Amino acid sequence: MENLKHDIKTVLITREQIAKRVREMGQQITKDYAGKEIVLVGILKGAMPFLCDLMREIDLPVILDTMVVSSYGDATTSSGLVKIKKDLDSDIRGRHVIVVEDIIDTGITMAALTPILEKRGAASVELAIFLDKRERREKEVNVKYIGYEIPDKFIVGYGCDYAQKYRNLPEICELDNKVFAQAK
Ligand SMILES: O=P(O)(O)OC[C@H]1O[C@H](OP(=O)(O)OP(=O)(O)O)[C@H](O)[C@@H]1O
Ligand code: HPA
Ligand SMILES: [Mg+2]
């Protein structure tokens, strides 16, 4: 990343650490769901790199699906509603669903989405989230699989963006202040 490295202040989690943790998560899921079929639901766009890596570490039959959602409501009184912009292609009735996300922050997106999927009659709905910014949580959410807990810092990479950019960084990074200054 000869060009992008000039925009990075700190690398918080390296490619090697990411790969190791994703492998462990895949192995845990393989154990926990032994004998079952899973529907992996990636929440676009942030989940893309993690979804691609995680599914290849799961040694079970996997059905891949995606959703695009946006949480909305005014900032002071978060409504906790999500708008589904792109829905699942598959019927999840009676199926074991694992929702895959890059990061959980306030928890508003996941707190709203999980009951929607449960109401559709899924046999189970669990969450696999690579980064957990627990300090920022506003809605309590039960996350079964967590990659790393991170402090309340704005990060990019491995799917996480700043103004839609930097998702392609293969590490979890903090951006250099000049990037924010240039954006103003
Ligand atoms: O816990 P929360 O506070 O609800 O925030 C987490 C969500 O925010 C980001 O997605 P975003 O809606 O920005 O879209 P993106 O995945 O396309 O980046 C991230 O990918 C999670 O989906
Ligand atoms: O730190 C973050 N970076 C990018 N996107 C995010 N969405 C919630 N927290 C973050
Ligand atoms: Mg997202």
Please state, in angstroms and rounded to a whole number, the distance separating the CA atoms of residues 165 and 144: 29
Q: Which residues sit with Cβ closer than 5 angstroms to ligand 3, an ion?
A: 46
What amino acid positions are annotated as catalytic residues? 105
How far is residue 66 from each of residues 17, 48, 97, measured CA to CA in Å? Answer: 26, 9, 12
For the segment 8-54, what is each residue's pLDDT rounded down to a tens digit? Answer: 999 999 999 999 999 999 999 999 999 999 999 999 999 999 999 99
Q: Which residues contact 65 (CB under 8 A, 6 or more apart)?
A: 39, 40, 41, 42, 88, 89, 90
Please give the pLDDT value at position 182.
87
Q: Which ligand lies nearest to the CA atom of residue 130 in the structure?
A: 1
Closest C-alpha to ligand 1, atom 21: 103
174 lines ligand 2 (CB under 6 A): no
Give the chain's mean pLDDT.
94
Q: Which domains does the chain have, with CATH numbers?
A: 4-183 (3.40.50.2020)
44 CA distance to ligand 2 middle (Å): 14
Does residue 160's CB lie within 6 angstroms of at least one atom of ligand 2?
Answer: yes
Q: Residues lining ligand 1, judged by CB closer than 6 Å?
A: 43, 45-46, 70-71, 101-109, 161
pLDDT at residue 148 is higher than 60: yes
Cis previous bond, 139, omega within 30: no
Using most ligand atoms within 8 A of CB, pick from 70, 71, 113, 134 the residue to mutate for ligand 1: 71
